[in-house]
Structure 1
Amino acid sequence: MKIIIGLGNPGKKYECTRHNIGFMMVDAIFDMYDFDTWKTSKFDALTSEGIIEGEKVILVKPTTFMNLSGQAISKIVNFYKLDISKDILVISDDIDMEFAKVRMRAKGSHGGQNGLRDSIQRLGTDHFYRLKIGIGRHGHMSVSDWVLSKFTASEQKTLSNETYKQVEEKIEKFLRG
């Protein structure tokens, strides 16, 4: 069994914002494959179960705010007794990467991303897969205003036409080990 967690903030106010690209990618995976309806779980998260390439997968969207994402992740890891280094993939935004670029790593620092920072702290390790999606920087906006701003229609088109496919390929690679 594998767990794919998208980081983001709950609520309509944050839908389609740069910081919620993790939620957006998990929603895209949900749409690409046959997953059960989203359920509120005891893990402080919405979860959905499905199968990708013969592997049972649970999609997760923490219902805590971004900075407390590790709370839900650690509950899931402990409940299912998962091998953190092999069984979880966390999808998040990365302000230091060019927009729409995708990078997967098996370990590493949080890179200033507070959801990853909290996850590393609560899990006690940085040895877990993470899939970072570039959101770039805006030269004239504060970091907080930028990450909480919504994607433009053009940017959403780029995500749909290019990034979703890259994410799908990376997830299949993650599932193959």
Structure 2
Amino acid sequence: MQVAGERAAKALIRLTASLPQVNVLTVAGAMGEQVARLAGIEPKVLHLSNTGLSTSADTRSAVGSMVTEGVDLILFAGGDGTARDILSESGRKVPILGIPAGVKMHSAVFGTTPANAGHLAALFLSGSASAQVRDAEVMDLDEDAFRAGSISAQLYGHAPSPFERRLAQNA
């Protein structure tokens, strides 16, 4: 299993330990179903036309379907690029929370660890007053500047995201 899958499993195990009755909607196969089942969850599965490694188009398609389904939270594994894709498709309609599993995680939508992301998701979904929704920055590095030897982060927007100061990244 890839690193992202291992980290997602840690978050889901923590989520279900705190909130065993949680309903999970995910994408078939490697985009979520396999990890959910590994974590002991029987998810509702979206069957999209992904034929291999997931792309940003696959992410956007999944997010669009989840928004249409009326999910309460989009919990995702990835990095800043994935957060950008989710923000662009969700249109701020649904709070998002990232499981840190990418190459770059400069955005404020991520939990500090995979387990903390799962814990924060459980707090938010259970209605705990300690998990407030905030407008969190979605950032990404300028890849062209990075390749040229300069580090420059760009703000792509703000997304509603659960927050608890010990569990969420402050960017």
TM-score with structure 2 length normalisation?
A: 0.40
Higher RCO, 1 or 2 (CA under 8 Å, sep at least 6)? 1
TM-score with structure 1 length normalisation?
A: 0.39
